[in-house]
Structure 1
């Protein structure tokens, strides 16, 4: 799914109106029907709705939704900061329609302290939409601050008021803190970054019938990885195949006290379907690896740490889990990279050792995948003020080095050498645990060995990792799930993918 800017979304509305013989008022009604449908279905246990509506089209959506929700049996109250102010044309029409219903009160208010919202009340924010270009101030800042202090369930229409669709305003910006954001037609970039996404709660994308022709032809550098993308990428296993069909993986990792990282990465590579899996590790991990991963073969790379990395052209390498940063390991890594021409997957200590000198980065083979978390990224490329700037720096470095950067975050970003960014929306906070990144290294290396392109490997691998984590969270809770639980759920994810590929 493409992510469009606020300006592109405005153009999308205009294109739909001009090319599909629909008025802007009818389009607003579509949006209101979608909003009211979701609210009525998901707020059945609540009797009262308090809608805060602004003067623009976001407020118009709120007015129209309020009218529809009233007919569905909800007790509806609408609050407007200033009834005397000028409303947009379509908002004015829907406000008048709302006033024609005697059972709906439309009030003007400067604050919420004089109104009591009980536990049965859902608060709906329709103050500002994607057109907001500056932080909230004055009455709006005061109002949103007061609403945020209430314990009621809170829903935002399209985007939380005070939030930009495309960027971050300032750290102290006041933004409506939603439990749910009902985003019309598509994701917004700001929903996917930690500084701004924390305001959205659960994002629900509602289809409102905007032109598919515009969506297809309009260019974007930003995408969301959804199940439709994954379905196009995933290739079921062929019946007439053998272990050589699915490639050879070599996981390079482990050092004294950190053999578990190599175990996790190896298990993940096996569970993701590699035909042959080797673990190149120090001898101190031999018994552990052979016991924990009997399906994998062991290659000795040293005694207590790795001192040499064999170069086999027909194997895909994942390097870094538990590797340590011993000087001999550092030399072995650089020597390997200088003599290896295929893409590799680099993570953890492999990245930490490369970050010692900027000149080391030139030894990363073209089209390789690096998977830094924010601190590792900073050590590699320098600090940035926020995640939006970090992403732009990643875009620049991916192009310069001709590599794929998997920026690990709540919504992990896959940055291609061509400058495209794919946001992953699977996964959860249960992955905030040591070992989760080691699993991802194994998954990516395994997919690369099986013949997926590097871009396909990144998209499918990160999605698989997150989807398996979501299943693990359902079973064990985010607090208690372990990286091994995530590995064990990979089979259920593949089973679901295969079911969807079955041709009836």
Structure 2
């Protein structure tokens, strides 16, 4: 799924109007009907709606929705700034249509403090849409602050009022904190960042029939990893294949007291399907690894920590889980990186060692994958004010170093060397546990070993990791699920993928 900017969304509307063809007010009617149908279907226990409408086209949507909900049997009240004020052309048409219905009252914002909010009443926000480019102020700011104090269920149309589409307006901006955001056609970038996504509640994307030709032709560097994209990358296993067809994955890590991390990475590499899986770890982890990961082969890299990195050229390497930052490990890793040119996966302590000196960044082999969480990213590349600026910096560094950056977050972002950004939407808060990143490292290393490209490995790997976590959360809850549960559920995800592939045939 492509993600478009505010300007591109506006152009998409205009392209649809010109090429369908359809009038702008008819397109507004179509969008409003999609919203009204969703609310009617999902809010059957709530008979009273109060709709807050701005003067622009988002307000026009709200006025049309109010009319449609009333005709569907809901009690509806509407608030606007001034019924006699200036509205957009299409909003004016819908205000007149609403005025022809005697059962819906249209009130001024100034009357809202005297309004009796029933606890079962749903607040519908149609104040501002995707075109907002400045923080709310004056009467609108006061209104949103008041609505935020209400315990009623809130539903925002297209985007919560006060929220920008492509970034952050100001840290102290007032934004409506909604329970549901019913948005049109595609996700917006602000839905996917922690500072702004916290306002959206549950997001529902409604297809309003915007022209497919525009979507296919329009260029963007921002994408969402949906199931269709993951399925298009996945390569079902060949029935006549042998282990030599699926590569050699080597997981390097572990140190005294941190063997569990490399166990998790090894297990996930095995479970993701590498033909042969090896673990290079210190001798202190030998019995643990041979017992817990009997399908993997052990290579000794030291006694209590890894101090030498003897790695064959035909192996695909993932380095970092539980590695530690001992001086011998640091020297060994940097010496290895200076003389190794094949792409690899670098995580955790491998990144911490590299971040000790800016010059070390140049030792990362081209087309490698690094998987920093925000603090690791900061240590490597510097501090940024917010996640949007962090992503911008990541795009610059991915280009500069010719690497893939998997920037871990609630919606993990994959940044490619050519500047593309892919947001992942699988996964859940159950992954906020130590060991989850180690599982991802094993998955990525295994996919890279099997011949997936760097971009394919990142997209499919992050999606697999999140999807398995969603299955684990269903079984064990977000609180109780463990990284080992995520590994176990990889089989369920691959089973689902193979079933879908067979159906397509």
Q: Please, what TM-score do these two structures have when normalized by structure 1? A: 0.99
What does residue range 62-77 of structure 1 map to in structure 2 within 5 Å? 62-77=62-77
Shift of 1:150: 1.0
Quick check: 1:130 aligned with 2:121? no
- Paired position in structure 2 for 1:423: 423
Matched residue, 2:177 = 177
Distance in 1 separating the partners of 2:249 and 2:473: 28
Decide whether the 8 Å contact of 1:111 with 1:146 is kept in 2: no
1:262 aligns with 2:262: yes
Equivalent residue number for residue 346 of structure 2 = 346
1:348-363 equivalence runs, <5 A: 348-363=348-363
Q: Distance in 2 between matches of 1:14 and 1:211?
A: 10
Distance 2:323 2:55 in 1: 58
Q: CA deviation at 1:333?
A: 0.8
Asked if 1 retains the 8 angstrom alpha-carbon contact of 2:269 and 2:277, the reply is yes
Shift of 1:66: 1.4
How far is the alpha carbon of 1:82 from its aligned partner?
2.0
Q: Please tell me whether the aligned partners of residues 76 and 104 of structure 1 are also in contact (alpha carbons under 8 angstroms).
A: yes
RMSD: 1.0
Q: CA deviation at 1:100?
A: 1.3
Q: Which residue of 2 aligns with 1:38?
A: 38
Q: Tell me the CA shift for residue 42 of structure 1.
A: 1.2
- By how many angstroms is 1:110 displaced? 2.1
How far the C-alpha of 1:400 sits from its partner, in A, is: 0.6
> Which residue in the other structure is 1:80 paired with?
80
- Corresponding position of 2:446: 446
Does the CA contact (< 8 Å) of 1:343 and 1:368 recur in 2? Answer: yes
Q: Which moved more, 1:349-358 or 1:92-101?
A: 92-101
Q: Check whether the contact 2:61–2:126 (CA below 8 A) recurs between aligned residues.
A: yes
Other-structure match for 2:240: 240
Structure-2 residue corresponding to 1:9: 9
CA–CA distance in structure 2, aligned partners of residues 204 and 99 of structure 1: 30
Task: Answer whether contact 1:309 1:336 (CA < 8 A) is retained.
Answer: yes
Question: 1:385 corresponds to which residue?
Answer: 385
Does the alignment pair 1:120 with 2:149? Answer: no
CA contact (8 A) 2:109 2:143 kept: no
Does the C-alpha gap of structure 1 residues 473 and 111 become closer, same or farther in structure 2, counting only changes over 3 Å? farther
Answer yes or no: is the 8 Å Cα contact 1:49–1:75 preserved in 2: yes
Deviations for 1:263-296, whole angstroms, at most 9, x for unmatched residues? Answer: 1111111111111111111011111111111111
Give, in whole Å, the separation in 1 of the partners of 2:450 and 2:42. Answer: 43
Aligned to 1:432: 432
Contact 2:144–2:174 under 8 Å retained in 1: yes
Instruction: Kindly state the Cα deviation for residue 326 of structure 1 after the two structures are TM-superposed.
Output: 0.4
Mean Cα deviation higher: 446-455 or 36-45? 36-45
Match of 1:401 in 2: 401
Matches of 1:312 and 1:70 in 2, distance apart? 71
Q: Which runs of 4+ in 1 moved over 4 A?
A: none
Deviations 1:7-33 (CA, angstroms, capped at 9, x unpaired): 111111111111111000110011011
- Once residues 469 and 91 of structure 2 are traced to their aligned partners in structure 1, the CA distance between those partners, rounded to angstroms, is 43
Map 1:144-183 → 2, pairs under 5 A:
144-183=144-183
Q: In the aligned structure 1, how far is the partner of 2:449 from the partner of 2:229?
A: 21
How much does 1:311 deviate?
A: 1.9
Aligned to 2:271: 271
Instruction: State whether residues 263 and 289 of structure 2, in contact with CA within 8 Å, keep that contact through their aligned partners in structure 1.
Output: yes
Output one character per residue of 1:213-232: Cα deviation in whole Å (capped at 9) or x when no partner.
11111111111111111111
Aligned twin of 1:332: 332
> Does 1:307 pair with 2:307?
yes
Question: How far is 1:112 from its partner?
Answer: 3.2
Deviation sequence 1:61-117 (CA, Å, 0-9, x none): 111111111122211111112223200010111111112112212111226331222
- Higher mean C-alpha deviation, range 113-122 or range 263-272: 113-122
More deviation, 103-112/122-131:
103-112
Partner of 2:186 in structure 1?
186
* SS of 1:287 mapped into structure 2: helix
Measure the CA separation in 2 of the matches of 1:182 and 1:379.
38
Instruction: Give the deviation of 1:392 after TM superposition.
Output: 0.8
Partner of 1:499: 499
The alignment covers a number of residue pairs equal to 504
Which stretch has the larger CA shift, 164-173 or 474-483?
474-483
Q: Check the 8 A contact 1:79/1:108 in 2, yes or no.
A: yes
Query: 2:424 and 2:86 mapped to 1: Cα distance?
Result: 41
What is residue 458 of structure 2 aligned with on the other side?
458
TM-score normalised over the length of structure 2: 0.98
Unaligned runs of 5+ in 2: none
Q: Which residue of 2 aligns with 1:485?
A: 485
> What is the CA–CA distance in structure 2 between the aligned matches of 1:255 and 1:111, rounded to whole Å?
66
Tell me the residue number matched to 2:290. 290
CA distance in 1, matches of 2:489, 2:118: 42
Give, in whole Å, the separation in 2 of the partners of 1:99 and 1:53: 14
SS at match of 1:496: helix
> Contact 1:311–1:340 (CA<8 Å) still a contact in 2?
no
Separation of aligned partners in 2, 1:47 and 1:480: 38
Q: Is the 8 A contact 1:266 1:277 kept in 2?
A: yes
- Contact 1:343 / 1:366 at 8 angstroms: preserved in 2? yes
In 1: Cα distance, 2:430 partner to 2:114 partner: 41
